[in-house]
Amino acid sequence: MLKLRTFFLIATGLLIGYAAAAQTPGAAPAAEKPMTTEEILFWILLGLLGLVLLVALLMGIMITVQMRPQLRKVYEMPTVRPTMSGKVLGLLVGDPVLVKGEVKDELLDHDYDGIHEFDNDLPPWWKYSFYVTIFFGFIYLGYYHLAQAAPLSEGEYAAEMQQAALMVSADNDDPNKLTDYKPLTAATDLTDGKGIFAQNCAACHGQNAEGKVGPNLTDEYWLHGGEVNHVYKTVKFGVQGKGMVAWKGKLSGKQILQVTSYVLSLQGSKPANAKEPQGEKETAGKPVASR
């Protein structure tokens, strides 16, 4: 009996500990910070509790195993067996009937074209699983719809987006604002840009940016501006209704700048099968790209 009480106490302690632990991450910001002494102490204590619980559990199992014959005798007493605690005892001593049910194999007087039927009990494991699932159903509906204790589809989405907003860098996400980048000129950036172009842009703009579905990018004519920050914006946010895909979310800010710089490096390259100019000519006075 003493054992049981210890058990209970430890379990309660652990539960409270867990609840406390569950609250801490909410308070602390996501950024990595060194643990305070309090926190270290808390985790040590929690670990100790867990260890104690494990030992207690093992001892409980040992005692049950050791005392099985005695427990069995108690279990087999006719006054104990049908009671609820008797059933728990039965599970402890491992009475298979409690799980599988009593298989009496009593034949009913049914005869359907030679098929007979037993009238065996519903297997308890089956029956209680059924109860558990029904219980789950009520809890689920109550939790989400009556108590409204957790968000549903839209709430989950809002939370997910909020979480993501914390993660993503403060990259300017306003399509109406223009960045002030300079074109990248390092060879590695241009090589990366070339790879990105081949993979994502070539289908519409052609392998050499000569223009296919999308416009020719090697001439001086631009539909949405040929200055590096204009091109960056066009790549990032796309052009609604004109077919330019928004690459935001698919390419990182750096990648967009790389591919933009690569495209601008192709100015005047005069590829074969070039598409006719579209848009307005950008004069040399405007900084196009430093080659």
Partner 1 sequence: MIVDPKPLVARPETPPARAVDTFFYDNRIVRNFGIATVFWGVAGMLIGTLIAFQLARPELNMGTQYTTFGRIRPLHTNAVIFAFVGNGIFTGVYYSLQRLCKTRMFSDKLSKLHFWGWQLVILSALISLPLGITTSKEYAELEWPIDILITVVWVVFGWNMFGTIAKRRERHLYVGIWFYIATLLTVAVLHIVNSLSIPVSFTKSYPIYAGVQDALVQWWYGHNAVAFFLTTPYLGLMYYFLPKAAERPVYSYRLSIIHFWSLIFIYIWAGPHHLLYTALPDWAQSLGVVFSIMLIAPSWGGMINGLLTLRGAWDKVRTEPVLKFMVVAVTAYGMATFEGPMLSLKNVNAIAHFTDWIVAHVHVGALGWNGFLTFAVLYWLWPRLYRTPLYSKRLANTHFWLGTLGILFYAIPMYWAGFTQGLMWKQFNAEGMLQYPNFLETVLQIVPMYYLRGIGGVLYLSGVFLMIFNLVKTAKAGTLLADEKAQAPALMPAELVEEHQGGHWHRWIERRPVQLSIGATIAILIGGAVEMIPTFLVKSNVPTIASVKPYTSLELEGRDIYIREGCNNCHSQMVRPFRSETERYGEYSKAGEFIYDRPFLWGSKRTGPDLHRVGAKYPHSWHYNHMMDPTSMSPGSIMPAYPWLFEQNIDYSSTPAKIDVLRKLGTPYPAGYGQQAVADARQQAALISRDLAKEDIEVKSDKEIVALIAYLQRLGTDIKVKEDPNAVEVVGVLPAE
The two structure tokens encoding residue 122: 């519903």
Integer Cα distance of 199 and 29 in angstroms: 38
CB 275 to partner 1: min, Å: 8
- The helix (H) or strand (E) run that includes residue 135 is helix 124-141
Please identify which residue in 157, 269, 270, 273 interacts with partner 1, judged by CB under 8 A.
157
State which of positions 178-237 bind partner 1 (CB under 8 A).
178-181, 199-200, 203-204, 213-214, 224, 233
Q: How many chain residues touch partner 1 (CB under 8 A)?
A: 76
Residue whose pair of structure tokens reads 């091109």 in the numeric block: 231
Residue number, 90 or 214, with CB nearest to partner 1: 214
What is the contact mask toward partner 1 in residues 57 to 96, using x (rule: CB under 8 A)? ----------------------------------------
Kindly tell me which residue out of 3, 73, 145, 281 binds partner 1, with binding defined by CB under 8 A. 145
Shortest Å, Cβ 175 to partner 1: 8
User: Residue 165 to residues 31, 161, 169, 243: CA-CA distances in angstroms?
Assistant: 14, 6, 8, 27
Q: Which amino acid is at 27?
A: A
Tell whether residue 136 is a contact of partner 1 (CB under 8 A).
yes
d(CA 253, CA 223): 22
Between 252 and 267, CB nearer to partner 1: 252
- Confirm or reject binding of residue 286 to partner 1 (CB under 8 A): no
Find the binder of partner 1 among 23, 85, 153, 283 (CB under 8 A): 153
Check if the beta carbon of residue 247 is closer than 8 Å to that of residue 200.
yes
Please identify which residue in the block is written with the tokens 């305070």. 36
Name residues contacting partner 1, limited to 95-134 (CB under 8 A).
103-110, 112-123, 126-127, 129-130, 133-134
Give ∠ CA 110-116-119 in degrees, rounded to 5. 75
The minimum distance between CB 215 and partner 1, in angstroms, equals 10
CA distance 200 to 195: 9
